[in-house]
A and B are shown apart, each in its own frame.
Chain A
Amino acid sequence: MARSMEELVVQVVSELNPSLAEPVPIDRGGEAVLYGRNGVLDSIALVSLVVALEQLIDEEYGVTVALADERAVSQSSSPFRTVGTLAAYAESRVQEAKRS
């Protein structure tokens, strides 16, 4: 059984954490802040996270999604703000890809 999207995001963040000056507090689950005014990811870490998550989604679900396209920007609030918002956004993109 495939893991939930939040589990995938947490896995990717956990792998990224050792390289960060301040690790993402993944014990906060979906509320852990990623990118933004109060975030702990800098721009390079954000790109690394997104690329790694796209790869993991492909491996886990067999679906190719591009998380950093205009759709992300057109969301009313940033999908990259927290673990939870990213998981929800990625999940919506996976479902959409499966339908098409």
Chain B
Amino acid sequence: MTADLRQRIDRIHRGLDTGVLSLSNPRVRLVPITRSALANRDDLERMTAWRNKYMKWFFTQFFATPAATEQWLSEVLDKSTRLLYWVEWDKRRLGQVGWKIECDGVAELDQFIRGEPGGPANLMFMAEEALLDFLFRTAGCMHVIAKVLAGNLPALELHRSMAFEARRNIPMKAVSSDRGRRFEPTDEAGDTYAIELVLEAEKYTKAGSRNG
């Protein structure tokens, strides 16, 4: 990951660079979630509601509150290796997507949620294409990965439609706490498993993108 990209992410988080990803369909935009969201009650409540609605598909499962979301988001926005975006249709926030740099040349898709109905059925497909275009063409990634809890059919099918391939199954054990439970990788028989998917830059380029 280049220093330039880190600096740009910092600037985006602070609202000094819009970082908006526009798509071939002008009604769709990916708008970075910035530090301003930390002071926006509507944004925090929106993210919290979406997180709770789809709790079963997250590796960490607990009942979120706006305060917990604020704390989590603040930690995310402190990292110059991660970006989250609102998925907007006609400027209405209908979902969120994100990515984080895992190591040089490798990014992981993260925090995909279709929070609200409305807009086209393939809204998240368009959003993922825009992210992949950015990661492969601008950020210089060679691989993009995604880890999805088994049973999260929409996410698995979404990624696969972009030419991701399942690389391995990762056994996961459930660890309970006062706040809920989280799934962690284990070498033993797991309670469930995660599917790790991978997409190489060359394969994505060959498959073709609609946003390029």
Contacts and interface: CB of A to CB of B under 8 A. Distances in A.
Interface of A: 20-22, 35-47, 50, 68-70, 72-74, 78, 80
5 contacts: A22-B121, A42-B122, A43-B154, A43-B155, A80-B153
A38 B122 contact: yes
Contact of A42 (B123, B153, B155, B193): B123
Contacts of A50: 153
Contact of B157 (A20, A38, A45, A80): A80
Interface of B: 114, 117-118, 121-125, 150-151, 153-158, 160-161, 166, 169, 193, 195, 210
B114 A42 contact: yes
B121 A37 contact: no
Interface centre among A38, A73, A78 (most CB of B within 10 A): A73
Query: Lowest 7 A-B CB distances belong to which pairs?
Result: A43-B154, A68-B153, A42-B121, A37-B125, A43-B114, A36-B161, A40-B121
A89 to B, nearest CB: 12
A72 to B, nearest CB: 7
Contacts of A46: 153-154, 157
B194 to A, nearest CB: 10
B158 A78 contact: no
A70 B150 contact: yes
Contacts of B210: 37
B115 to A, nearest CB: 10
Contacts of A37: 122, 125, 161, 210
A21 B121 contact: yes
A39 B154 CA distance: 12
Contacts of A72: 153, 156
Contacts of B123: 42
Interface centre among B150, B153, B156, B169 (most CB of A within 10 A): B153
Contacts of A22: 121
Given A42-B124, A43-B124, 6 more contacts: A35-B157, A39-B122, A42-B114, A42-B123, A50-B153, A78-B157
Contacts of B125: 36-37
Contacts of B151: 68-69
A69 B156 CA distance: 10
A36 B157 contact: yes
Contacts of B157: 35-36, 46, 78, 80
